[in-house]
Amino acid sequence: MILFEDLHKAFGPKRVLDGFTLAVRDGETMVVIGYSGTGKSVAIKHVVGLLEPDAGRVAVDGQVVSELDRAQLTGLRSRIGFVFQFAALFDSMTIFDNVAFGLRRRRDLAESEIEDRVREALALVDLAGTEAGMPSELSGGMRKRVGLARAIAVRPTYMLYDEPTTGLDPVTSAVIDELMIRTREALGVTSIVITHDMRSAYSVGDRIAMLYQGRIRQVGTVAEIRDTADPVVKSFIEGRPDRSASEAATTLSAEEGIAVEGAQG
Amino acid sequence: MLAAVRFSDRPTAGPSVRLVPPPYRLTAFPPYLGPVLAVIGRQAVGTVAGFGLLGHFLADTVRAVPDLRTWGRMVVQQMRRLGVDSLPIALFISAFTGIVLALLASYVFTGAVPMYLVGTLVGKTIIMELGPVLTGLALAGRVGANIAAELGTMRVTEQVDALETLAYNPHAYLVIPRVLAGTVMFPVIVAFAMAMGLFTGWLSATTLLPVTNAEFMRGLRLFYDPFDIQFGLIKSASFGFVITLIGCFLGLATRGGAEGVGSATTRTVVYSAEMILVLDAFWAVTLLRHP
């Protein structure tokens, strides 16, 4: 279980998370939606300790992330797969080495086992046979699939997806959605998916939470969110411009180390 | 009771003269002084904060040293990239430095100083000063900029975050191999550069100047002390350490995309060059004082 409790995070004067509370149950896929720059990526980076909260806490299986020492954090991270918005593949390595990278950290795997795991992970994302290629030779969709393969190769308990379909055409987005569902079925993972893409949210999510002005505006099943009466949530999921909501969405500065989500779609 | 003391209370011999100080008052700051002081203050605070962050960075790097399994296999690769691949530029610089030094010595010495001292000047200068410092400055550009640009790009494309989520410590995987490779390989490169400088100095002295091989060698041996080479190599190791550390520090601190990477690269080259000169003076003061 992943628990966000009254999480606060600011970058300079900009308050991004302001009492963010959310519980993600074991085995479910929680989709977090929200306007660009409202701190969705910031929230999941707390789960793997890439950011530290100003106040509040994030607990994974009862372990408070910000209280872990380096060794404990490494142990936690080895149970979590993180799929980055732009895949974050290592440019200087082959696709094989990218996928094998997390496995080589483990002492209990022989090189032959690593090879089997890499081929299995690449097959799961329909990229078998691309092992020798370099990331620069891949399209955007393929890079995301390699990023997904790298995350699932370590057989994690939790998967965190940071805008997995952003910037992709509708067909490739549907492929990524299908892969996320397949990953969940194959590994039984608990997932958090950050997205703007409502079609993707409805497709992969068990529950959907909307982040608005630094906290959760509404959380519910897909059906509950579809039929919401909340004007802010309704405006967002129907894609209707809502001046007050758009203006309220905070845009983080790239200076603060956070990608400006709106700039990428 | 300072306020109770009045000038007129002083005992005087003649008629009492009331000495009342003029009414001093605090005049306002000139309007331009405030912003200037603010800028100076911000710069000072920024510099101190920068050294503080560098200290934290160094401590994190030291704490990652026990993770030998992560950094051990990367060191040789970095020694080749940062060291062996830098050899051509180092040899190029020292080759021309040797030529110029020999001719400069001859120009200065003519008619006043025995010409065999050309060998002395070329040897001492190449080994103790110009070999290490010029090579260090060139490698601040080549190695420091390379590290800052590479790690900066990794930072802004989230590759460093990816490393962390895959349970790697970036200090163990990225910083230690580079700093270690720089510290070990810079003296090696400088040793080659010294040899090249001495060779081209000898070649130009014996072919372009009225100096025989025997005279040049006599001058070279005249004040030679094995410590000279140690001095040059110690300096080089410190330059290698500082250049790679600054490159890693500023590279991993990069923010803001391509502009941030450019800024980190530029600052790395500038700060590394400054630190080379500071360290050069430091080692001279520390190791070259007469007993």
User: Model ipTM?
Assistant: 0.85
As a whole number, mean pLDDT of residues B21-44 equals 78
Please judge whether A77 and B158 are an interchain contact, meaning their C-beta atoms are less than 8 angstroms apart: no
Please judge whether B165 and A257 are an interchain contact, meaning their C-beta atoms are less than 8 angstroms apart: no
Nearest C-alpha in B relative to A159: B165
User: Hey, how many other C-beta atoms are within 10 angstroms of the C-beta on A113?
Assistant: 12
Judge whether B263 is closer than 8 Å to chain A, CB to CB: no
Classify residue A246: in a domain, yes or no: yes
As a whole number, mean pLDDT of residues B49-55 equals 92
Write the pLDDT tens digit of every residue in B153-206. 999 999 999 999 998 999 999 999 999 999 999 999 999 999 999 999 999 999
Give the closest-approach CA distance of B256 to chain A in angstroms: 5
Evaluate if residue B15 carries a pLDDT over 90.
Answer: no
Classify residue A236: in a domain, yes or no: yes
Give the closest-approach CA distance of B257 to chain A in angstroms: 8
- Chain A hits for B167, CB-CB cut-off 8 Å, are 74-75, 77-78, 102, 105
Classify residue A175: in a domain, yes or no: yes
Residue A216 belongs to domain with CATH number? 3.40.50.300
**Which three-class secondary structure state does DSSP give residue B228?**
helix
pLDDT per residue, tens digit, chain A (265 aa), is: 999 999 999 998 899 999 999 999 999 999 999 998 889 999 999 999 999 999 999 999 999 999 999 889 999 999 999 999 999 999 999 999 999 999 998 878 899 999 999 999 999 888 888 999 999 999 888 999 999 999 999 999 999 999 998 888 888 888 889 989 988 988 889 999 999 889 999 999 999 999 999 999 999 999 999 999 999 999 999 888 766 555 555 444 443 444 433 333 3
Mean per-residue pLDDT of chain B: 89
Domain span at A246: 29-52+72-79+156-264
Residue A130 backbone phi and psi in degrees, to 5? -100, 10
Is residue A59 within 8 Å of residue A2, measured between CB atoms? yes
Classify residue A63: in a domain, yes or no: no
Classify residue A212: in a domain, yes or no: yes
Judge whether B73 is closer than 8 Å to chain A, CB to CB: no
Write the pLDDT tens digit of every residue in B71-91. 998 999 999 999 999 999 999
Please judge whether B162 and A84 are an interchain contact, meaning their C-beta atoms are less than 8 angstroms apart: yes
Please judge whether B255 and A78 are an interchain contact, meaning their C-beta atoms are less than 8 angstroms apart: no
Residue A50 backbone phi and psi in degrees, to 5? -75, -25
Judge whether B257 is closer than 8 Å to chain A, CB to CB: yes
Classify residue A65: in a domain, yes or no: no
Query: What pLDDT is recorded for position A34?
Result: 92
> How many domains, chain A?
1
Query: What pLDDT is recorded for position B4?
Result: 44
Give the closest-approach CA distance of A79 to chain B in angstroms: 9
Give the closest-approach CA distance of A232 to chain B in angstroms: 31
- Dist CA A26 CA A153 (whole Å): 20
